[in-house]
Amino acid sequence: MFLPRMITKDLYYVGVNDRKTRFFENYIPINDGVSYNSYLLMADKTCLFDTVEICFLKEFLANVQAVLNGRELDYLVIHHMEPDHCASIEEIVLRYPNVKIVANLQVFRMIEQFFGEDYKDRAHVIRENDILDLGNHHLKFISAIMVHWPEVMMSYDLDTKVLFSADAFGCFGALPGNIFKDEVDDPSFFSEARRYYSNIVGKYGVNVVNVYKKISTLDIKYICPLHSYIWRQDFDQIMSKYVKWATYQAEEKAVVIAYASMYGNTKQAAEVLASMLAEKGIKNIKVYDLSLTDETYIISEIFRASTLILASPTYNLGMYPKVESLLNAMVKLNVKNRVVGLIENGTWSPKSNSMVKEKLASLENITYLEPQISIKSSITEQNIEDLAHMATLVSELL
């Protein structure tokens, strides 16, 4: 049983909701699930766009079958080969033996790697700017290398101005019945979209900018991503965020304090600083314990805020594991253009500030607040003065 979800008069949503998986890519928490979007265009030639994660095959096939309503499936377009979208290709071919697979050469290579099949008998190989003629619809293909894998392509329906954007403009969260972004007032959407973007695609800002340049010239009426809502208005809301995220510009002038603390002394420094900032009239200060808040949320906050304060104990003369992991993620994701304030603690040899700076040395345009603060076991009067000075510097920047 499936209730067809119409997008345009001949384009349907046939995706599924995953409300069971707790970790996207088996490490990113997704407490509200995720949708695997697939679309079926009932043109003169029928065309399915991508598939879904294999656990949801039965539901997906029911959706496709209901919309086809007895018609043949002529084409399957594969934009992206990550298995949350490609895993059901074999099953589609089994059920629709005349279907042609439309994709670039890299996709076909990956199909062979995943499934041991080259599908030469049904391959319709396309390159960027090629056009697939579906009769009353024509699809133009746009290369989207590294957004989020190297084979990724988008496609654009020249007749109805629909952009199939692959992973771009997606978000975590299962769809609540509503499939259009303008149907929901979801206060967590953009923070979750940022967490999705920053942790998954964040490394590839240059590639995202390149693709943005191509699609920003298109007349777009709908954006159909592979996860989350379909956009049919207010495109600038999400596009403007992507421009900021992809160019590593802070979304807001804001401060985030991330601390790690074994026995509460480093935490106390973070709390004192937060209070001093509040006393200076700074609003919306965010404070996170790195041992309690999943790193993917902190990364998202670093993409949002202009200033990061990192307070960290020295651990066995090295970095505290949670801090080291966050720094590794920042380096991996090429974070740039941030102000960073450092607070270290250590009982016999506090040295985490210098280790943090060394770790982040490859990142561009990171400005450190001076002086960095060094605590020996617990905060002193001098530390309080230094924290007050740091609070003044931060408040002058916001």
Asked if residue 167 binds ligand FEO (CB under 6 A), the reply is yes
Contacts of 217 (CB under 8 A, 6+ apart): none
| Residue 84 lies near ligand FEO (rule: CB under 6 A) | yes
Could you tell me which stretch among 76-84, 112-120, 317-325, 342-350 binds ligand FEO (CB under 6 A)? 76-84
359 scored as a contact of ligand FEO (CB under 6 A): no
Amino acid at 325: S
Task: Give me the least distance between CB of 53 and ligand FEO, in Å please.
Answer: 9
Quote the CA–CA distance of 234 and 182 in Å, as a whole number. 8
CB-CB contact of 269 with 376 (8 Å): no
Q: Which residues, 138 to 157, sit near ligand FEO by CB under 6 A?
A: 148
Q: Does 226 bind ligand FEO (CB under 6 A)?
A: yes
State the Cα–Cα distance between residues 277 and 281, nearest whole angstrom: 7
Which among 95, 139, 100, 90 is positioned nearest to 120, based on CA atoms?
A: 100
> Interface with ligand FEO includes 227 (CB under 6 A)?
yes
**Least CB distance to ligand FEO at residue 85 (A):** 6
304 near ligand FEO (CB under 6 A): no
Give me the residue whose beta carbon is nearest to ligand FEO: 82
Q: Which of 146, 160, 144 is CA-nearest to residue 103?
A: 144
Cβ-based nearer residue to ligand FEO, 199 or 268:
199
Residue 85 within binding range of ligand FEO, rule CB under 6 A: yes
Kindly state whether residue 53 participates in binding ligand FEO, applying the rule CB under 6 A.
no
Q: Which of 45, 80, 181, 338 binds ligand FEO (CB under 6 A)?
A: 80
Please say which residue, 225 or 313, places its beta carbon nearer to ligand FEO: 225
Question: What is the contact mask toward ligand FEO in residues 184 to 223, using x (rule: CB under 6 A)?
Answer: ----------------------------------------
How far apart are CB 83 and ligand FEO at their closest, in Å?
8
DSSP state of 378: B
Q: Cα–Cα distances in Å, from 334 out to 204, 322, 326, 366? A: 8, 19, 12, 11
State the Cα–Cα distance between residues 107 and 111, nearest whole angstrom.
6
Nearer Cβ to ligand FEO, position 197 or 259?
197
Decide: 187 and 173 in contact? Cβ < 8 Å. no
Compute the least distance from the CB of residue 170 to ligand FEO, in Å.
7
Which amino acid, residue 71? R
Query: Are 342 and 359 spatial neighbours (Cβ–Cβ below 8 Å)?
Result: no
Identify which range of 63-71, 77-85, 279-287, 296-304 contacts ligand FEO by CB under 6 A: 77-85
> How many helices (H) and strands (E) would you count in the chain?
12, 23
**Cis status, amide bond into 321, omega within 30 of 0:** no
Q: Which is nearer to ligand FEO, 74 or 84 (CB)?
A: 84
**Total residues at interface with ligand FEO (CB under 6 A):** 8
CA distances from 376 to 232, 269, 292, 380 (A): 56, 12, 24, 8
Q: Which structure tokens are listed for 279?
A: 């006393």
Asked whether position 232 contacts ligand FEO by CB under 6 A, the answer is no
Interface positions with ligand FEO (CB under 6 A): 80, 82, 84-85, 148, 167, 226-227
